[in-house]
Structure 1
Amino acid sequence: MDPTTQQFIDREAIRDCVARLARGEDRRSADLIRGCWWPEARFDYGVHGGDFESYLAWVVPGADAIKDTQHVLGQTYIELDGDAAKAETHVISYHRVDMGAENGGERDTCIGGRYLDTFEKRAGEWRIADRIMLYDWEQDWGEAADWSLGVMGYPFTAEHFPGRAKGDYSEKWFAGAAK
Structure 2
Amino acid sequence: MNDLEQISAVLVRYATGIDSRDWDLFRTCFTQDCQLDYGVIGRWNSCDEVTAYMIRAHSGPSLHRLSNFDIRIDGDRAWCRTYVDALVFGPGGIGSAHAIGYYDDELVRGADGWKIARRRHTSIRLKFLGLLSIIPSWMVLRVSAIASRRLNSVSAKNG
* Superposition TM-score, scaled by structure 2 size: 0.73
Identity %: 28
Q: For 1:63-74, what aligned pairs fall within 5 Å after superposition?
A: 63=57, 66-74=59-67
d(CA) in 2 for partners of 1:109, 1:63: 12
Unpaired segments ≥5 residues, structure 2? 132-159
Instruction: Provide Cα deviations, 1:13-36, integer angstroms capped at 9, x if missing partner.
Output: 000000011100112222101111
Q: Which has the larger radius of gyration?
A: 1
Identify which of structures 1 and 2 has the higher relative contact order when contacts are C-alpha pairs closer than 8 Å and 6+ apart.
2
d(CA) in 1 for partners of 2:75, 2:116: 15
d(CA) in 2 for partners of 1:137, 1:15: 24
Matched, 1:80 2:47: no
- Corresponding residue for residue 20 of structure 2: 27
d(CA) in 1 for partners of 2:13, 2:102: 16
Q: For 1:30-49, what aligned pairs fall within 5 Å after superposition?
A: 30-46=23-39, 47-49=41-43
Q: Which runs of 4+ in 1 moved over 2 A?
A: 105-109, 140-143
Instruction: Provide Cα deviations, 1:54-103, integer angstroms capped at 9, x if missing partner.
Output: 1011012x237x4111101111101111110000000001011359xxxx
- Corresponding residue for residue 4 of structure 2: 11
- Corresponding residue for residue 54 of structure 1: 49
Q: Which letter maps to 1:140?
A: F
- Do the aligned residues in 2 keep the contact of 1:28 with 1:59 (CA within 8 Å)? no
Q: Which letter maps to 1:126?
A: W
Instruction: Provide Cα deviations, 1:115-145, integer angstroms capped at 9, x if missing partner.
Output: 11100011261111111111011123446xx
Change (3 A) 1:56 1:107: closer
- Corresponding residue for residue 151 of structure 2: none
| Number of corresponding residues | 130
The RMSD of aligned alpha carbons is: 2.2
